Amino acid sequence: MPRHFPPCKGPIEGLSLPQLAWDVLHREGIQTIDQLRSVAGQLEHFEGLGPITVRVIRQELDRVAAPGEQKFGDGGDAVWGA
């Protein structure tokens, strides 16, 4: 049965992610939304991030995207070419 963790605020303003996601992003040195956007296509390769957490991160990036900004989609494999 999947575990669901409540989102929490972290160092990247405007994003609410599970603590596990914040921990992994911190370990990877990702401190800004631009840095996170630049690696959004490779999140599956970050040790400790599973497919549900990756999807949550991408959904949060879409949620905070400025009007007209490229969206990341629903996190499906077709969008990311995985």
Query: In the chain, what are the domain boundaries?
Result: 7-74
Q: What's the CA gap between 25 and 46, in Å, rounded?
A: 9
Confidence of residue 7 (pLDDT cuts 50, 70, 90): confident
**pLDDT tens digit string along 28-79?**
999 999 999 999 999 999 999 999 999 999 999 999 887 766 566 654 443 3
Q: Which pLDDT score is estimated for 4?
A: 61
pTM (predicted TM-score): 0.75
